[in-house]
Amino acid sequence: MAIDQAKLDRFLERFVADLGAVLAAPNVVLGDRLGLYKALAAIGPAAGGYVTYDPTADRYLLGEEQAFALADETSPAFVAGAFQLATSTIIDEPKVAEAFRTGEGVGWDQHHPGLFEGTERFFRPGYVANLVDSWIPSLDGVQAKLDAGARVADVGCGHGASTILMAAAWPRSSFAGFDYHRPSIERARKAAADAGVSDRCTFDVAAARDYPGEGYDLVAVFDALHDMGDPVGAAAHVRRSLAADGTFLLVEPAAGERVEDNLNPVGRIFYSASTLICVPNALSQGGPALGSQVPEARLRELLAEAGFGSVRRAAETPFNRVLEARP
Ligand SMILES: C[S@@+](CC[C@H](N)C(=O)[O-])C[C@H]1O[C@@H](n2cnc3c(N)ncnc32)[C@H](O)[C@@H]1O
């Protein structure tokens, strides 16, 4: 199969615009329902472009790049899961609107199940593309520890996509996934069994502030710290649970230092998700709500408050920032 990178890039630009449009829909409903907005900018057309029409044959075709992005679950450019996430937010919009009124928030566990599966299927391609080959090697000395046999915790692991990828890559190490959401943990256990890594990869229900174990060589939090109601408390617990020379791998959505730096197609997706998912979850846990676009300066402040001595940006992608924090 020959992938034309330029065609794939054009397709992914389209995906970003469309996902932004879908996620904008429940935000528009929210603004309308709550009377927050009198008017909102029109959303561009989101149909077409996902299949190619051949007028001479009167047939609809899935091109190589479209199939790579839509039909191949193992592809690093697989995008269909993102829309599953997006449509779940439309179903949940009335709950979020009510939470705006009460201020009580909406917990991850209170969402439509499409969010859990959609999140896993949206994020896994990014982990397939980057985690084992780029993010772990970007950390100081971690790959060698994993090769030799290390203890790892993945906190807020959801369905365990990241945990299972690492467990498959480093058979001498042990991996403990934690999440406060029981159905996600049950799903992660099944996925680990299906992937044949259950001997070295366990999943348990636990909150970030008090998951068990200590002396971990690596603790990772993938796209979850900003969702938590006590991010400083969670990071402080990570610090306590690490070995003296351990590493905290913090993966957060890509964001600039100022709001105006995030007013672009990717920031549009993250701000919408923040309003519908991340902020309501943090509020349901008592807040403060960081939102999904946390400036790096704020993350560094938070990590210092939690007791980390050094913080370094180790890697980045168009969707993620990868920070390495050391005690
Ligand atoms: C956006 S999802 C990311 C899931 C997973 N890390 C991934 O990358 O696919 C955020 C996760 O954080 C979990 N979470 C939220 N608050 C939590 C808390 N206080 N303690 C532990 N997990 C929490 C949610 O249940 C959810 O699975």
Confidence of residue 68 (pLDDT cuts 50, 70, 90): confident
CA of 181 to the centre of ligand 1 (A): 8
Confidence of residue 52 (pLDDT cuts 50, 70, 90): low
CA of 38 to the centre of ligand 1 (A): 34
The SS3 call for residue 151 is strand
Q: Which of 311, 165, 176, 175 is nearest to 250 (CA)?
A: 311
CA of 167 to the centre of ligand 1 (A): 19
Residues 6+ apart with CB under 8 A from 112: 88, 91, 92
CA distance 307 to 108: 27
Averaged pLDDT of the chain: 89
Angle in degrees, 0-180, between the axes of helices 5-34 and 265-273, rounded to the nearest 10: 40
State residue 310's pLDDT score: 97
Report the nearest atom of ligand 1 relative to the CA of 124.
Answer: 9
CA of residue 225 relative to chain centroid, distance: 10
* Ligand 1 atom 9 nearest Cα: 120
State residue 325's pLDDT score: 98
Please give the average per-residue pLDDT across 139-165, as a whole number: 98
Residue type, 269: I
Ligand 1 pocket at CB < 6 A: 108, 119-120, 123, 156-158, 161-162, 179-181, 184, 207-208, 222-224, 227-228, 281, 285
CA of 106 to the centre of ligand 1 (A): 13
Between residues 194 and 72, the one the model is more confident about? 194
Structure tokens at 61: 């075709």
* Ligand 1 atom 23 nearest Cα: 156
Q: Do 42 and 33 meet the contact criterion of CB atoms below 8 Å apart?
A: no
- pTM for this model (two decimals): 0.89
Asked whether the CA dihedral 224, 141, 171, 215 is positive or negative, the reply is: negative
CA of 157 to the centre of ligand 1 (A): 6
Residue 208: pLDDT over 90: yes
CA distance 282 to 215: 28
Residue type, 66: Q
Residue 111: pLDDT over 90: yes
Least confident range from 78-82, 139-143, 163-167: namely: 78-82
Please give the average per-residue pLDDT across 154-177, as a whole number: 98
Confidence of residue 32 (pLDDT cuts 50, 70, 90): very low
Q: Which of 85, 122, 180 to mutate to test the pocket of ligand 1 (most atoms within 8 A of CB)?
A: 180
Report the nearest atom of ligand 1 relative to the CA of 123.
Answer: 9
**Block residue for tokens 């467990």:** 167
Q: Which of 223, 230, 290 to mutate to test the pocket of ligand 1 (most atoms within 8 A of CB)?
A: 223
Is the bond preceding residue 288 a cis peptide, omega within 30 degrees?
yes
CA distance 205 to 55: 54
Q: Which of 154, 159, 221, 227 to mutate to test the pocket of ligand 1 (most atoms within 8 A of CB)?
A: 227
User: What is the number of other CB atoms lying within 10 angstroms of the CB of residue 6?
Assistant: 9
Report the nearest atom of ligand 1 relative to the CA of 119.
Answer: 9
* Ligand 1 atom 27 nearest Cα: 158
Confidence of residue 51 (pLDDT cuts 50, 70, 90): low
Q: Which of 181, 184, 251 to mutate to test the pocket of ligand 1 (most atoms within 8 A of CB)?
A: 181
Where helices occur in 35-171 by DSSP H, the ranges are 64-70, 80-102, 114-130, 142-148, 161-169
Report the nearest atom of ligand 1 relative to the CA of 120.
Answer: 9
What pLDDT, in 10s, does the model give residues 258-274? 999 998 889 989 999 99
CA of 51 to the centre of ligand 1 (A): 34
Distances (CA, A) of 141 to 92, 308, 320: 43, 17, 21
| Residue 205 host element (H or E) | strand 201-205
Angle in degrees, 0-180, between the axes of helices 182-195 and 114-130, rounded to the nearest 10: 50
Report the nearest atom of ligand 1 relative to the CA of 157.
Answer: 6
CA of 184 to the centre of ligand 1 (A): 9
What order do you get walking across the sheet with 242-253 strand by strand? 201-205, 174-179, 151-155, 216-222, 242-253, 320-326, 310-316
DSSP secondary structure of 214-271: --EEEEEEES-GGGSS-HHHHHHHHHHHEEEEEEEEEEEE---SSGGGG-SHHHHHHH
Structure tokens at 120: 């896993």
Q: Do 160 and 178 meet the contact criterion of CB atoms below 8 Å apart?
A: no
